[in-house]
């Protein structure tokens, strides 16, 4: 089981950067195996993340933003 963490390496938002750092730091500190998927550098990653975030977890307007976590294709959530 590998957790997939969808991030944006070139985000202009300091809040998103902080959330990403917190999630990755937590996983590393707890020795949880994970794989980073960069939506800023890979269009396929971006499409996959946006298509697989459940409707009830999407923002009221716009697209889902990182960080988002998945176990294979099962959505685990986002750190708010």
For residues 8-45, one letter each, b for 16 or more C-beta atoms within 10 angstroms of the residue's C-beta and e for the rest, the string is beebeeeeebebbeebeeebeeeeeebeebebeeeeeb
Each domain of the chain, given as residue ranges in start order, spans 3-77
Model pTM score: 0.91
Class of domain 3-77: alpha beta
Strands of 34-38's sheet, edge to edge? 34-38, 3-7, 68-71, 74-77
pLDDT, tens only, 12-44? 999 999 999 999 999 999 999 999 999 999 999
**Interatomic CA distance for residues 59 and 65, integer angstroms:** 9
pLDDT at 80: 58
**Interatomic CA distance for residues 19 and 42, integer angstroms:** 20
């Amino acid at each position: 089981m590998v957790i997939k963490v969808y991030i944006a390496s070139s985000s202009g938002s300091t809040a998103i950067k902080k959330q990403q750092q917190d999630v990755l730091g937590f996983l590393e500190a707890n020795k949880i195996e994970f794989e980073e998927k960069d939506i800023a550098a890979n269009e396929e990653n971006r499409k996959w993340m946006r298509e697989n975030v459940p409707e009830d977890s999407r923002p009221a307007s716009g697209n889902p933003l990182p960080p988002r976590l998945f176990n294979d294709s099962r959505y685990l959530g986002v750190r708010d």
